[in-house]
Amino acid sequence: MTQSASRFNTFVNILTAPKAALIELKQQPNFLFPLISIVLISALPIGYYFTKVDFAWLIDHMVETQSVGKSPDEIEGMRKGLGAMSQTVMGISSIIGAILVTPIIYLLIALYLFLVNKILDREAISFRSWFSLVCWTAIPVVFTGLASLVNVLLATDGQLALDSINPISFNNLFIHLIPSDPLFGPINNWDPMTIWSLALAVFGYSLWTQKSLIKSAVVVLAPTIIIYGTWIAVVLK
């Protein structure tokens, strides 16, 4: 079996038979296929978005959503600052951000799991293995990227907000908070694919360490709970 076929089989198995895929990954860790797939498919809708968005409308929208509580001078300064950036520059910077942020976040999560494993478990699992686990269990987010791309393709008037391109976010599906709402940021980041990815990570950690699902959920979800709990506390303060 070729390497590409093997990676595709792992992709299918992580979605349909995660136990078999995760056992194989512990023995033969790899991460390039899922990491590159996630990064590219996440960046693609952003790149396409900036080729068709009504840029003048986007600037007005961004100023409007970020101007709550600001003085007229501050609002005007914000408008000038955003207006000084061309559509191409803003698009490229957004794409670069998407490409760089994802691997950094995955590396930090893998480092956290690696250190927790060092402290709590007798069996030492390599950092490469943990990074492989993080990348592969995040693979459901490729469907978020595909859904976002379809959403951009269907937006014919060019007046789609960048923070609304994910049509399956819980906010877009159910809650409908506006961008100026303090809870918009934390809520808008969540969708069913995120939940699926976290569930796979919890299951993978439990399988690899032989800990219960409850203990595994505490370990795996602790950073997310702390980060989002702090974020919500700050915005509601």
pLDDT in tens, 208-234: 999 999 999 999 999 999 999 999 999
Structural tokens at position 155: 């937006």
CB 136 within 8 A of CB 14: yes
More confident residue, 96 or 65: 96
**Is residue 144 a part of any domain in this protein?**
yes
**Is residue 54 a part of any domain in this protein?**
yes
Structural tokens at position 211: 């800990």
Structural domain for 136, as ranges: 30-236
Cβ partners under 8 Å of residue 212, min gap 6: 206
CB 210 within 8 A of CB 188: no
The pLDDT confidence band at residue 87, using thresholds 50, 70 and 90, is very high
Chain-wide mean pLDDT for the chain?
93
Whether 1 has a pLDDT exceeding 60, the answer reads no
**Is residue 156 a part of any domain in this protein?**
yes
**Is residue 15 a part of any domain in this protein?**
no
The full 3-state SS of 193-234, as one line of letters, equals HHHHHHHHHHHHHHHHHCCCHHHHHHHHHHHHHHHHHHHHHH
**Is residue 5 a part of any domain in this protein?**
no
Instruction: Name the percent of the chain lying above pLDDT 90.
Output: 78
Q: What is the pLDDT of residue 198?
A: 98
**Is residue 108 a part of any domain in this protein?**
yes
**Is residue 114 a part of any domain in this protein?**
yes
**Is residue 3 a part of any domain in this protein?**
no
Q: What is the pLDDT of residue 112?
A: 98
Give the chain's radius of gyration (CA, Å).
Answer: 20
The pLDDT confidence band at residue 4, using thresholds 50, 70 and 90, is low
Into how many domains does the chain fold?
Answer: 1
CA 19 to the chain's CA centroid: 23
Helix axes 127-137, 32-52, angle to 10 degrees: 40
Q: What is the pLDDT of residue 124?
A: 92
CB 139 within 8 A of CB 199: no
Q: What is the mean pLDDT of residues 27-48?
A: 96
